[in-house]
Amino acid sequence: MTRRLARFPFPFRADTYRYSTNVEPARVPVETEAGSWGTGILDVDDEYGPELAERAAVLDRDPARLQVLSHMRPACWDALHTVLGELAAQHPDRMSLERTGPDLVWRNALLGIEQRFTDGDDASLPGGPLGFLGSQVQDDIVLLDQREGSLWADAGIVTFAADWSMRFDVGMRFLEVHGPVPRVHEEGIISRAERFLMRLQPGQEYRRTNWTMSVDRRLDQSTEIYPEWGPDRRAIADADGDELARRLHLRVEVQHLVRLGHSGAVMFLIRTYLASLAELATVPAWRERFGRVLAELPEDMADYKGLDRFRGAAARWLLAN
């Protein structure tokens, strides 16, 4: 069993999958057939260095992956304090956040950095508070403002999107962001989720999982660069079994939903995990369950997730033994 699989948040609890308002309290460990996950809000793992380097490279090519509407400054600072504080609490031997009046020092031995900054002064941090935070955690971050009876996606740093775009979504209502998802509106799932989020009280933390599939270990599947990754989804359908199993990945997002204390914003932390079919198949229960989920998945859901061309082949491979 690889370390990666031991911490993999395998998302399926049954042989069929449908959308639901699947939120549960955060920080509760989940036992899986291969290990466990979910003890903390943040998961610093073996991919920490490489994934942060990849985020930096994506931002370098396309700085618009970081979006902050001006009224979200307090929320960005709130997110920074909350998440750096959480990192330091989880890894006291390697990270610390010290405050002397308005002056702060962030030390992160994993990255070998010591960053001094002034509370509330955007210019004192490279990338500003949200940009800097994105250089310290593997999660994508979206901050939602609450007003006029709605949530608004008004800030975010998103480099590992699964076919969506922060630049396109910034300033939209929560309901608008989820406009294209089939079924969920008729079933009231998104408005229920929004109401749930709007009622989160300061400091409350929940989580949910979401999933799709991707070709190769490619985290950045933003809509902006569709031409770079889209064609692979067509080509993989013709691959032989070995290549299919090696290149096709189950892509799972663990999303933490946190009501920030001071700003009142809702923080989405979106952490993406990838495991190839070949890796998954080393856990027999996962191989069988994922195979059945894929085989049964209704056409419109498979189509929306972009799985329509290869999910049949993937299901057949998984269920072959």
Partner 1 sequence: MTLDLVVGKTEEIAPGIRELTLVRPDGRLPPYPAGAHVVVECGHGRRNAYSLTGCGVEPDAYRIAVLHIPDGDGGSAYVHGLRVGDRVRVSRPRSAFPPVATARRHLLVAGGIGITPMLAHVRAALRWDRPVELLYVHRPGVAPYAEELAGLLGDRLVESTDPDEFGRLLQAALREQPIGTHLYVCGPGPLMDRVLTDAAAAGWPPERLHLERFVPAALDPGREFVARLARSDRDVHVPSGTSLLDALHAAGVAVPSMCRQGVCGECRVPVLAGRPLHRDEFLAADERSDAVMCCVSRSETDALEIDL
Least distance in angstroms from the C-beta of 295 to partner 1: 37
61, 147, 217, 234: which one binds partner 1 (CB under 8 A): 147
Catalytic (active site) residue 208: yes
Interface with partner 1 by CB under 8 A: which range of 39-47, 70-78, 280-288, 309-317?
70-78
For residue 195, state whether it binds partner 1 (rule: CB under 8 A): yes
Two tokens at 182?
């089939």
Q: Give whichever of 72 and 166 is closer to partner 1, judged by the CB atom.
A: 72
Q: Which residue is it, tokens 């979206």?
A: 142
List C-alpha distances in Å: 144 to 141, 177, 197, 258.
10, 11, 10, 10
Binding-residue total with partner 1 (CB under 8 A): 23
**DSSP notation for 91-141:** -TTTEEEEEETTEEEEEETTTTEEEEEETT-GGGSTTHHHHHHHTT-SSEE
For residue 120, state whether it binds partner 1 (rule: CB under 8 A): yes
13, 61, 71, 116: which one binds partner 1 (CB under 8 A): 71
Q: Which of 7, 65, 208, 247 is catalytic?
A: 208
214, 221, 263, 272: which one binds partner 1 (CB under 8 A): 263
For residue 261, state whether it binds partner 1 (rule: CB under 8 A): yes
Query: Helix/strand/coil (H, E, C) string of 175-188?
Result: HHHCCCCCCCCCCC
For residue 102, state whether it binds partner 1 (rule: CB under 8 A): no
239, 264, 276, 303: which one binds partner 1 (CB under 8 A): 264
User: 262 CB contacts (<8 Å, ≥6 apart)?
Assistant: 74, 78
Least distance in angstroms from the C-beta of 148 to partner 1: 6
For residue 43, state whether it binds partner 1 (rule: CB under 8 A): no
User: 121 CB contacts (<8 Å, ≥6 apart)?
Assistant: none
Least distance in angstroms from the C-beta of 263 to partner 1: 7
User: 87 CB contacts (<8 Å, ≥6 apart)?
Assistant: 42, 44, 95, 97, 108, 136, 137
For residue 246, state whether it binds partner 1 (rule: CB under 8 A): no
Q: Give whichever of 78 and 224 is closer to partner 1, judged by the CB atom.
A: 78
- Give the C-alpha separation, 313 to 236, whole Å: 10
Q: Give whichever of 69 and 111 is closer to partner 1, judged by the CB atom.
A: 69
> Closest Cα to residue 213, out of 145, 280, 146?
280
| Torsion angle (degrees, nearest 10) of CA 212, 214, 219, 224 | -90
For residue 183, state whether it binds partner 1 (rule: CB under 8 A): no
Interface with partner 1 by CB under 8 A: which range of 33-41, 255-263, 281-289, 294-302?
255-263
Helix (H) or strand (E) holding 226: helix 226-235
Angle between the N-to-C axes of helices 284-296 and 311-319, in degrees from 0 to 180, rounded to the nearest 10: 140
**Which residues of the chain form contacts with partner 1 (CB under 8 A)?**
71-75, 78, 81, 99, 120, 145-149, 195, 199, 201-203, 261-264
* Residue numbers annotated as active site: 208
